[in-house]
Amino acid sequence: GESVGLHLPTLSVQEGDNSIINCAYSNSASDYFIWYKQESGKGPQFIIDIRSNMDKRQGQRVTVLLNKTVKHLSLQIAATQPGDSAVYFCAESSGGYNKLIFGAGTRLAVHP
Amino acid sequence: KAGVTQTPRYLIKTRGQQVTLSCSPISGHRSVSWYQQTPGQGLQFLFEYFSETQRNKGNFPGRFSGRQFSNSRSEMNVSTLELGDSALYLCASSLAGRLNTGELFFGEGSRLTVL
């Protein structure tokens, strides 16, 4: 498949382990944050979002943590599965419009 | 419910030519955004349209333009193509209204190669 990014940081985990992907965002005025997953040859797929009035949000097997003090976002994936292998992007937005600023991405490699 | 549809999926052009890419949003979505994805620069915002009006624009030269039709379908055009325009162009639609952000649903992209 096509390469999303040639020199992305890679997180390698064993199947069944928990994964934590980190992201530093740039704009202290950002009020909406999203995590996307992108598999080879496909467009980004929404995973979970969080607004700036929250510091934690949970979904199915995923949790997003937001630390506005240090402008840091993390995505936790519980019991990581081979199907979770992909590139993960954080994105930020401010001002109520759909103009997202994406991070560089992290490649997650899940080994059996 | 059909997802975001982008056409063509792949195309090859030469420098100096122009290209038009098409995006059909999810039914009922009025917001359409365009992004450029390259290995070097990552995902970068091009522009967003809502109800046929461009309401946000990224930092791309004027060679990049877009429009939205009354049925919410959108096109983007790149004129005088350069080698550096080779990229995956992604369209995303959203149910968001005038003042809200909302979940973006991305298409699979149009991969443009400029020779």
DSSP letters, A13-72, are: EETTS-EEEEEE-S-TT--EEEEEEE-TTS--EEEEEEETT-SEEE-SSEEEEEETTTTE
Q: Residue B11 pLDDT more than 50?
A: yes
Output the pLDDT for position A2: 41
Tokens of A44: 């980004």
From residue B86, alpha-carbon distances to A5, B68, B81, B111 in Å are 14, 23, 9, 8
Asked if the C-beta of A53 comes within 8 angstroms of chain B's C-beta atoms, the answer is no
At residue A1, the pLDDT reads 37
CA dihedral in degrees (A65, A49, A94, B62; nearest 10)?
130
**Residue-wise pLDDT tens digits, B50-74:** 989 998 899 999 999 999 999 999 9
Give the whole-angstrom CA distance, residue B94 versus residue B107.
12
Express each pLDDT in A46-101 by its tens digit: 999 999 999 999 999 999 999 999 999 999 999 999 999 999 999 998 766 678 89
| Percent of chain B clearing pLDDT 90 (strictly above) | 82
| B 56-75 → A contacts, CB under 8 A | 56, 58
Mean pLDDT value of segment A16-37 = 93
Asked whether the beta carbons of residue A98 and residue B31 sit closer than 8 angstroms, the reply is yes
Residue B107 distance to chain A (closest CA, Å):
6
Looking at the complex, does the CB of residue A112 fall below 8 Å from at least one CB of chain B? no
Q: Which residues of B touch A6 (CB under 8 A)?
A: 39
